[in-house]
Amino acid sequence: MSGPATLPAPEARQSWLIDGVVTAVIAIGAWQALHAYAGEAAIASPLKALRHLSGLVATAGFWSHATATLTAFAGALAISAALGIGLGLVLGLRRFAGEVAEPILSGLYAIPKVTLYPVILLIFGLGLGAKVAFGVIHGVIPITLFTLTAVKGINPVLIRTARAMRLSQADTIRTVLAPAVLPEIVTGLRVGFSLTLLGVLVGEMFASQRGLGFLIVNGISLHNVKQTTAVILMLVVVAVAANGVLLWLDRRFIHRP
């Protein structure tokens, strides 16, 4: 690529790094302070958690729990994305259906979904099905809403341009509509990613014998605070890293107007 404006300014990179370091220092400082206030019985210190985590990741048992969470999460995210994008596209293109559905979806989005958990359990039973379902009900609504908004908000002049260029309907969807709505959908997926993970973990906490969510609650019932803190630490690092990667992909490949 040529052109003077295609590389990010060096100061932009530096400020990213500084922001990251400052945030990490504040987070660790707050954690240490909380540990000092609440004591060893409630929360392990950052150093102890890290040490425990390094021992934990060496055990096979830990990885079988991590795999269980990952399986449920991957399934839930795939279903949320497929369902959310599909539903969002249809509702966005069909104006009337969209106008009816949007307030309903926004209402559902506001419901604390934990209240639905007993119902989910009765329907899907203990195990993978309930975890996936609980992840999906968290992730699917924001993805649907972001997609719907993207389709409804598409700049009409882009569609007029497609008509002025005599594009067929299929070509218009593939080469104009799809790339035009992609940035919003990527944002929706990023939000959906965090919420789906939240749903899966909460599901594991309440009614499961497997998964990282189970390990967190299990640590509390066994007074193994180090285990709970270590697993939380790992989840935070993974979630922040994943969000960072998604943000980087977004900035790298999507050119927002």
Partner 1 sequence: MAVVAFADPGGGMPATARETHAALRGVTRVYGRLAALGPLDLDLAKGEFFSVVGPSGCGKSTLLDVLSGLGRPNAGTVTFEGAPVDGVPDGVGIVFQEDASFPWLSVRDNVAFGLRRAGMDGAEIARRVDYALGFMGLSDFAGAYPAQLSGGMRQRVCIARTLVTQPRLILLDEPFGALDQQTRLLMGDELLRLWRETGATVLLITHALDEAAMLSDRIGVMSSRPGRFIEIVETGWPRERDSRIVADERFGQITARLWSHLREESLKAIGKSSSRKTSVP
Residues 56 and 191: their CA atoms lie apart, in Å, by: 29
The span from the CA of 79 to the CA of 72, in Å, is: 11
For residues 165 to 194, the per-residue mask of contacts with partner 1, x marking binding by CB under 8 A and - elsewhere, is xxx---x---xx--xx-x------------
Looking at this protein, which amino acid is placed at residue 230?
A
Q: How far is the CB of 188 from partner 1 (least distance, A)?
A: 17
To partner 1, the closest distance from the beta carbon of 151 in angstroms equals 15
Q: Is 256 in the site for partner 1 (CB under 8 A)?
A: yes
Binding flag, residue 2, partner 1 (CB under 8 A): yes
Q: Hey, which residues between 112 and 171 contact partner 1 (CB under 8 A)?
A: 155, 157-158, 160-161, 163-167, 171
In DSSP notation, 84-133 reads HHHHHHHHHHSHHHHHHHHHHHHHHHHS-GGGGHHHHHHHH-TTHHHHHH
1 vs 58, beta carbon nearer partner 1? 1
Structural contact between residues 140 and 84, judged by C-beta atoms closer than 8 angstroms: yes
Nearer to partner 1, 8 or 39 (CB): 8
What does the block give as tokens for 172? 């218009």
Residue at 24: amino acid letter? A
Binding site for partner 1 (CB under 8 A): 1-6, 155, 157-158, 160-161, 163-167, 171, 175-176, 179-180, 182, 254-257
